[in-house]
């Protein structure tokens, strides 16, 4: 079953008070899910989640949102990573494009693009959503940064044709731009009452744990690729 989340609520930004979805400055709120010293951060692999209220963890504590849970799992498995949560509730793919330069200026090695749910919720142009996602992915790749794309799906509220075209955007871009894809970020969570808040659309802490489990193997694959490239003779 597919479900689109309504992504509206408190936002969380990475350090440095970045531009928000509407181009204004957000109040500073670091959703960094580790407290590593700055020197350690320079050595750690930096992963940024560029997203909406799903990443921001609407309705749960920052350390319960799935980016924080992912970092905990990765560190437990021996990966020296630092995760930055750049989730802004209510953000769209257009907002992600406007924030991307700031994200890239933080010199991450991996950017997880988790945007598009609000585009679909508002019935925005599928072509525009696709163009915005393509722009974000392409620019990040051109900067030599790995991308993980989180797939979204919508129910047929705007008609089966709209839903099909929207849902196809994510696998289509992943194939076109050769980026790994989480087929559906909310797999096993959407429409599961025990895994969502009372609104029925935003994950609760247990739901965020499930989302983290979905994302984790994709990030580990990218980390292994980075490790292999760093150790190769031509690196």
Least confident of 19-28, 61-70, 137-146: 19-28
Whether pLDDT at 73 is above 50: yes
Q: What one-character DSSP code corresponds to residue 86? A: E
Domains of the chain: 38-230 (3.40.50.1110)
Which residues have CB under 8 Å from 8's CB, separation 6+?
A: 53, 58, 89, 90
CB 59 within 8 A of CB 129: no
Please check whether residue 110 is in contact with residue 146, taking contact to mean a CB–CB distance below 8 angstroms: yes
Q: Average pLDDT in the 142-158 region?
A: 94
For the segment 26-69, what is each residue's pLDDT rounded down to a tens digit? Answer: 333 334 444 333 444 568 999 999 999 999 999 999 999 999 99
Q: How many residues does the chain have?
A: 235
Query: Can you tell me whether residue 177 is helix, strand or coil?
Result: helix
What's the rounded Cα separation, in Å, for the pair 106 and 222? 19
pLDDT reported for residue 42? 60
Task: Considering only CA atoms, give the Rg of the chain.
Answer: 17
Residues of the chain with pLDDT > 70, as a percent, come to: 80
- Please name every residue paired with 48 in a beta bridge, in sequence order, or none if there are none: 84, 111
pTM: 0.85
Asked if the model's pLDDT at residue 220 lies above 60, the reply is: yes
- Catalytic residue list: 53, 199, 202
- Nearest of 227, 235, 13, 48 to residue 148 by alpha carbon: 48
């Amino acid at each position: 079953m597919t479900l689109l989340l309504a992504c509206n609520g408190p936002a969380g930004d990475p350090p440095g008070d970045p531009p928000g979805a509407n181009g204004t400055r957000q109040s500073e709120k670091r959703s960094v899910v580790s407290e590593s010293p700055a020197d350690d951060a320079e050595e750690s692999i930096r992963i940024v989640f560029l997203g909406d209220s799903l990443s921001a963890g609407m309705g749960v504590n920052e350390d319960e949102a799935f980016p924080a849970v992912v970092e905990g799992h990765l560190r437990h498995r021996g990966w020296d990573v630092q995760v930055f949560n750049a989730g802004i509730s209510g953000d769209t793919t257009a907002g992600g494009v406007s924030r991307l330069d700031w994200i890239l200026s933080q010199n991450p090695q991996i950017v997880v693009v988790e945007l598009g749910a609000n585009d679909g919720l508002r019935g925005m142009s599928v072509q525009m959503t696709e163009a915005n996602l393509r722009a974000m992915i392409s620019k990040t790749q051109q900067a030599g940064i790995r991308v993980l794309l989180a797939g979204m799906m919508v129910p047929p509220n705007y008609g089966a044709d709209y839903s099909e075209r929207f849902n196809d955007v994510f696998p289509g871009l992943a194939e076109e731009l050769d980026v790994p894809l989480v087929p559906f970020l909310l797999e096993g969570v959407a429409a599961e009452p025990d895994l969502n808040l009372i609104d029925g659309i935003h994950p609760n802490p247990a739901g965020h744990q499930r989302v983290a489990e979905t994302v984790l193997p994709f990030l580990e694959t990218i980390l292994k690729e980075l490790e292999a490239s760093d150790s190769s003779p031509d690196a």
